[in-house]
Amino acid sequence: MSEPSPKPRVLITGSAGFIGFHLTRELLSRGHQVHGFDGMTDYYEVSLKERRNAMLLQDPGYSFTQGMLEDADLVMQVAREFQPQVIIHLAAQAGVRYSLENPRAYIDSNVVGTFNVMEAARELAVDHLMMASTSSVYGANEEMPFRETDKVDTQLTIYAATKKANEMMGHTYAHLWNLPTTMFRFFTVYGPWGRPDMALFKFVKAILNEQPLDIYNNGEMYRDFTYVTDLVKGIADLMAAIPERPADRIVPEGDSLSPVAPWRVVNIGNSDKVKLLDFVDAIEEATGKTAIRNYMEMQKGDVEATWADATLLQTLTGYRPETNVRDGIAQFVAWYRDYYRV
């Protein structure tokens, strides 16, 4: 019997971030060698990133470089030395609301940084380039659930605009250099080790500290909350779903595959929209405390609802996220209480 082929080596940008940390753990558990690249920026508490990275470094299959995506020479050097077969690009300046305050950070990281990653992938001719996008690219679209084949031309923030730019940059490189590329659109990811700027983290902190929490659009908001371990399983499973340029330019119905490039975009969401007030109710249940609710108007750049059609993910991988939001919130609250000793 022949020896099984080795697992592809994976370079992950943003490995010390919320999603990158969970994805790295998932891939290490599957036997991959992973090299992480992260700027360890102070957008939120660096100690949380350091703790995540320290946990990853306990695994001999993980190595790490600290650096900024804007440093083209360093990105290329790391890629040449590690020689990955797959690059998963998660690092970005995140946060919809922060993009209203500091839009230049999004151009530097999300556009220039992504270009540097794509250049490394092109030079190494990797088997699969995988890059994170966001449900925010659907912008002002009203027809739901959102499908990958929907037109997405009405972004409402510079964050969303940079992610749409990443999708188009990825398509161009896939076409020009025959570089197999998968973009994935995330839908409101939550779970243990999450980002402190995200709603769940802020709501739990406020409730436990008996402080008011801001609820925008008077609670008339809906989100497709996706538990982080479901999300990273979807990404890991998509590694093997390498897009191929269709020889006849014919694309199967429902597939977002480009007719002129080995490029595809895939939603990764829970396929269930949850009302924000029900989300708060679930946090109250998990914490055993009542929220002090501060109802506010819709914030600039926000959207009333997101809701993913994840049929394509299931078609490509046989997998579909399924964690119930109340179960996921309970697991986050348990982690939060343990981490912060509250």
Q: Pseudo-torsion of CA 206, 222, 94, 118, nearest 10°?
A: 160
User: Within 13 Å, how many C-alpha atoms sit on residue 150's CB side?
Assistant: 23
User: Within 13 Å, how many C-alpha atoms sit on residue 263's CB side?
Assistant: 20
Is the CB of residue 302 less than 8 Å from the CB of residue 199?
no
Structure tokens at 117: 């990653």
Say which amino acid occupies 257: L
Say which amino acid occupies 67: G
Q: Is 336 a catalytic residue?
A: no
Phi, psi of 227, deg, nearest 5: -70, 140
By three-state DSSP, how is residue 303 classified?
Answer: coil
Structure tokens at 214: 């801001």
H/E element holding 292?
A: strand 292-295
CA torsion sign for 73, 77, 78, 80 is: positive
Active-site residue (options: 159, 173, 227, 336): 159
Instruction: Write down the H helix ranges in the chain.
Output: 18-29, 46-56, 72-82, 98-101, 103-106, 114-124, 158-177, 199-208, 228-238, 276-287, 311-317, 325-340
Instruction: Tell me which residues are annotated as active site.
Output: 159
